[in-house]
Amino acid sequence: QQQVKQSPQSLIVQKGGISIINCAYENTAFDYFPWYQQFPGKGPALLIAIRPDVSEKKEGRFTISFNKSAKQFSLHIMDSQPGDSATYFCAASPTGNQFYFGTGTSLTVIP
Amino acid sequence: DAGVTQSPTHLIKTRGQQVTLRCSPKSGHDTVSWYQQALGQGPQFIFQYYEEEERQRGNFPDRFSGHQFPNYSSELNVNALLLGDSALYLCASSWSTRGHYPYNEQFFGPGTRLTVL
């Protein structure tokens, strides 16, 4: 059973546009929600993370929006750049030790 | 700082064989987690090692076992390989998160690509 559901599977955005990736979860024990970026041949790298007591967190062009009542969270990439082309994973954890990952979104930013 | 390193980079085995993958954590980290990432999927948590003990385990069979050494490096062993074990195996290290916030960031290695024929 997939603990964290992620959509879309793939996304194509024009340079300068906004990329939006969505995730949903059911387990209310989750209290930490990171997003990872993965380039081909590399391991995932932490991009930004949020706790459920905050509805939004922004770091540069990356923003997480969190809706605790709906059990949903999303990643917004503003002013998307070709260098942002990668696979993005949302994840969730109840303790900071075991992480449950979404299935990934392949983002392509067209110049 | 070399970050998290894994060896080998690629490995080809046949069904029924056994394999050992290795991981050296980032300098200063004492906790190592292992993940299996099938093609086109997200990483799946296998287990985590801290103080040379398995602290937490995901939904993987006993064919998957591990070890952590006093220098915090770790091995993942898989016995009786199946075709379905073909995947990218990722190691992640962190400074121990003791179950309360703030949680410490996990740093991933580049992975070992295992192909089972």
Helix and strand numbers (H, E) in chain A are: 0, 11
pLDDT of residue B99: 66
A35/B contact by beta carbon, under 8 A:
no
DSSP codes, A31-46: -BEEEEEE-TTS--EE
Q: In a 3-state reduction of DSSP, which class is residue B61?
A: coil
In a mutational test of the B interface, the residue from A39, A51, A99, A106 whose CB has the highest number of chain B CBs within 10 Å is A99
pLDDT at position A97:
84
Which of A32, A43, A102 is the closest to B42 by Cβ? Answer: A102
- Tell which of B104, B106, B112 to mutate to test the A interface (max A CBs under 10 Å): B106
Structure tokens at B15: 């069904």
Average pLDDT over residues B7-18: 97
Taking contacts as CB-CB distances below 8 angstroms, the residues of chain B near A31 are 101
Task: Report pLDDT digits (tens) over A79-92.
Answer: 999 999 999 999 99
Structure-block tokens of residue A10:
């793939």
Distance between first and last Cα of chain A:
38
Question: Token pair for residue B29?
Answer: 């980290």
Distance from CA of A22 to the nearest CA of B (A): 15
CB contact under 8 A, B106 and A51: no
Instruction: Classify the phi-psi angles of A21: left when phi > 0, otherwise alpha if psi is within -120 to 50, otherwise beta.
Output: beta
pLDDT digit string, tens, across residues A26-80: 999 999 999 999 999 899 999 999 998 899 999 999 999 999 999 999 999 999 9
Alpha-carbon distance of B11 to B37, in angstroms, equals: 15
Q: Are strands B112-116 and B10-13 parallel, antiparallel or unpaired?
A: parallel
Two tokens, residue B21: 């993958």
Per DSSP, A32 falls in state: B
